[in-house]
Amino acid sequence: LEDTVRAITIERFGDPAGMAMRTVDAPEPAPAQVLIRTAAIGVGGVDAVIRRGTLGSGFPSGMIPGSEIAGRVVGVGDDVDPAWIGRRVWAFTGTSGGYAEYAVAALEDVIPLPDTLSDVDAVTLGSAGTVAHFALLQAGVRSRARVLVRGAAGSIGIAAVQLAVHAGASVVAVTTSSRSRGALLRELGATHALDRSGRSDAADAPESFDVIIDIVGGPDVAQFIDRLAPNGRMVMVGAVAGYPPADFGAALLRSFQQSRSFGTFSLATIPVAERNAARAAQFADGVLTPIVHEILPLERAADAHRAMDQGSVFGRIVLVPGSH
């Protein structure tokens, strides 16, 4: 194994131009970790948020971003069965370390890949599919449910739409600011594309929903609570538009007789064994179609982040390291 590896680092937080390709010391697996030679690296929304520098001071300059990789295990830490070496796997690397030719991951965050799923597709389904799965479970989506996925054009939304269709929902509406992304979501089974305010010119646009999966949050949450049918449930999974105002819950109380509910969902509450079982099932069952926006060489990570900042990405941008 090499002593040094090529990696993308964040030299300056803020603009994507602050990212650079560097040669760094090769990572070494600690006990209970494995070393993976990366073949595909997922570019996630959270990477962009960290790079913008808005997540606070916990991230040092010079850090390697990236949390999702696929590739082959090439080394193991103490206490890890050497039989792992040579296996093709998907891994979550935490909030850093992924944009590199080699990365380490805790064994509990590593999942062997079936031959039927490519490295690129594995990092595309990755975490987002699992988040969508458990969020829909939390919201109690059943056959014939009328579902709205708010902010459906991102990785979590794309998975949530497909899983709601698979669960037999009678309506799977989405919000998106783009007609073309609305058309792509319809190809994945969405029945109605609404604008960001939840409106549409179509005569058959649904008025109310049994379930709202909300990835957006922000100032409009109360308006969407008002769109819940009696006993309807809204589950907030993300807050890409920020947290809702403190008084948003007044909308629930105003409609007390409708028995609506609101909750948040974080994957952190799902025990790691359950998370891994759900992820392995998604990797194997073929229910989710991985939507790859673009595949770029690792050295073009800054271009990937520019596209993320422009808001034009539909599906996952995947980075691939050059030949080893």
Selected from 75, 151, 232, 321, the binder of ligand NAP by CB under 6 A is: 151
CA angle 50, 110, 318 (to 5 degrees): 50
Stretch of residues binding ligand NAP (CB under 6 A), selected from 20-28, 138-146, 212-220, 284-292: 212-220
H or E element in which residue 184 lies: helix 179-187
Q: Which is closer to ligand NAP, CB of 228 or CB of 307? A: 307
Binding mask 216-235 for ligand NAP (x = CB under 6 A): x-x-----------------
Phi-psi region of 97 (alpha: psi -120 to 50; beta: other; left: phi over 0): left
Q: Is beta strand 88-92 parallel, antiparallel or unpaired with respect to 68-76? A: antiparallel
Give the tokens for residue 165.
């269709």
Selected from 76, 147, 148, 156, the binder of ligand NAP by CB under 6 A is: 156
Selected from 41, 149, 215, 304, the binder of ligand NAP by CB under 6 A is: 215
Which of 90, 160, 139 has the alpha carbon at shortest distance from 262?
139
> Does position 123 bind ligand NAP by CB under 6 A?
no
Size of the site for ligand NAP (CB under 6 A): 27
Going by C-beta distance under 8 Å and a sequence separation of 6 or more, which residues neighbour residue 128?
A: 154, 155, 156, 158, 159, 316
Binding mask 12-51 for ligand NAP (x = CB under 6 A): ---------------------------------xx-----
Secondary structure (3-state) at 150: strand
Binding mask 246-285 for ligand NAP (x = CB under 6 A): -------------------xxx------------------
End-to-end, the C-alpha distance of the chain in Å comes to 10
Q: Which is closer to ligand NAP, CB of 75 or CB of 154? A: 154
C-beta neighbour count of 157 within 10 angstroms: 28
For residues 324 and 322, give the distance between their C-alpha atoms in angstroms, rounded to a whole number: 6
Q: Which is closer to ligand NAP, CB of 156 or CB of 319? A: 156
Assess contact for 271 and 278: CB atoms under 8 A: no
Binding mask 181-200 for ligand NAP (x = CB under 6 A): x--------------x----
Selected from 178, 208, 255, 258, the binder of ligand NAP by CB under 6 A is: 178
Stretch of residues binding ligand NAP (CB under 6 A), selected from 60-68, 170-178, 278-286, 315-323: 170-178
For residues 38 and 173, give the distance between their C-alpha atoms in angstroms, rounded to a whole number: 37
Secondary structure (3-state) at 167: coil
Assess contact for 192 and 185: CB atoms under 8 A: no
Binding site for ligand NAP (CB under 6 A): 45-46, 127, 131, 151, 153-157, 176-178, 181, 196, 215-216, 218, 237-241, 265-267, 311
